[in-house]
C-alpha cells in the first residue's frame, strides 16, 4: 500500500509550490511535477558489474512515481537530470511499460551527467529532451547549478548534489535526512531514487532547508 503524500506549501516568484515527502515538488500554477536524479537502471547496472542489488529497487521507485501521478494528475513531469543511470539495460524496459501506462503525462528531461542514451532511445520512450537547460515562466532548470550562468531574472532549480542534512537528536545522536535546499537564487532538489547517497550541505544564513521524513516535510 502506498503511503500518504504529505505536502508543505511555499511561494517562489509568486508561484505556488508544494514540497512533498516523496522527494518531489508539485508546481500548482503549471500543473507540473518537479523531481531529479531518478537514476533508473542503476540497480541493474550494479548487478551487471557483479554487485548484489535487489531487483525490486527500481520497481519500488516506479511505484512511487505512479502514486505521485495518480495523486496529482499533472500534465507533465520535469526531471532535472539523471533520469537513467547509465547505458540502456533491461531495467529500462520496466520504464517503457510505465511510460506506456502513463502516455498522457508528458515527461521532460533536462540532461544530467548520467543521461547518455541517444536521441532515438529517448524518442522511443516518449521523453522530451531539452538539453542542459530549460526555462518555463520565472523558473530555469539545469541539472548542475555550476554548469549555467545564474542571474536574477530567473529562479533556478537543480539536482545533482543529492542534498542531505545532519541534525542532532534528543539523545545527541546525529540523524541524516534528505532535504530540499533553497538559496536566494536557486533550489536543489533531493534525489528521487531511494537507492542513492546524500551530500551533506552547510546552509548559509539566508538559506532555507526542508527535511524529508516518511511523515512529512519539516522546515529547519
How confident is the prediction along the chain (220 residues), in pLDDT tens digits per residue? 578 999 999 999 999 999 999 999 999 999 999 999 999 876 444 444 444 455 677 889 999 999 999 999 999 999 999 998 656 567 788 899 999 999 999 999 999 886 778 888 889 999 999 989 999 999 999 999 998 888 889 999 999 999 999 987 666 788 999 999 999 999 999 999 987 889 999 999 999 999 999 899 999 9
With beta carbons less than 8 A apart as the criterion, state whether 7 and 15 touch.
no
33: part of which helix (H) or strand (E)? strand 32-35
Among the listed residues 23, 19, 18, 50, the one whose alpha carbon sits nearest the alpha carbon of residue 35: 23
Question: From residue 177, how far is each of 22, 37, 144, 211 by CA, in Å?
Answer: 13, 16, 21, 6
Give yes or no for a contact between 145 and 139, defined as CB atoms under 8 angstroms apart.
no
Nearest to 213 by CA among 21, 12, 24: 21
Helices (H), 8-154: 42-48, 56-72, 91-101, 119-124
Burial class (CB within 10 angstroms; exposed 0-12, middle 13-18, buried 19+) of 104: exposed
CATH architecture of the domain formed by 7-219? 4-Layer Sandwich (3.60)
Residues whose CB is less than 8 angstroms from the CB of residue 157 and which lie 6 or more positions away in sequence, other chains included: 34, 80, 139, 140, 141, 142, 186, 187, 188, 189
Amino acid at each position: 500500500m502506498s503511503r500518504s503524500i504529505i505536502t508543505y506549501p511555499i511561494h517562489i516568484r509568486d508561484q505556488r509550490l508544494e514540497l512533498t515527502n516523496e522527494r518531489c515538488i508539485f508546481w500548482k500554477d503549471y500543473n507540473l511535477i518537479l523531481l531529479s536524479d531518478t537514476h533508473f537502471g542503476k540497480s541493474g547496472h550494479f548487478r551487471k558489474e557483479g554487485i548484489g542489488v535487489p531487483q525490486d529497487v527500481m520497481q519500488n521507485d516506479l511505484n512511487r512515481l505512479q502514486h505521485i501521478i495518480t495523486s496529482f494528475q499533472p500534465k507533465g513531469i520535469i526531471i532535472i537530470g539523471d533520469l537513467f543511470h547509465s547505458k540502456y539495460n533491461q531495467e529500462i524496459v520496466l520504464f517503457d511499460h510505465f511510460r506506456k501506462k502513463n502516455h498522457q503525462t508528458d515527461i521532460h528531461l533536462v540532461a544530467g551527467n548520467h543521461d547518455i542514451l541517444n536521441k532515438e532511445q529517448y524518442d522511443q520512450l516518449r521523453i522530451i529532451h531539452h538539453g542542459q537547460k530549460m526555462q518555463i515562466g520565472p523558473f530555469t532548470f539545469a541539472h548542475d547549478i555550476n554548469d549555467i550562468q545564474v542571474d536574477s531574472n530567473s529562479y533556478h532549480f537543480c539536482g545533482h548534489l543529492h542534498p542531505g542534512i545532519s541534525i542532532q537528536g534528543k539523545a545527541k545522536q546525529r540523524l541524516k535526512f534528505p532535504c530540499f535546499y533553497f538559496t536566494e537564487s536557486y533550489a536543489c532538489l533531493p534525489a528521487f531514487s531511494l537507492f542513492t547517497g546524500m551530500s551533506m550541505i552547510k546552509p548559509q544564513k539566508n538559506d532555507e532547508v526542508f527535511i524529508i521524513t516518511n511523515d512529512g516535510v519539516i522546515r529547519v
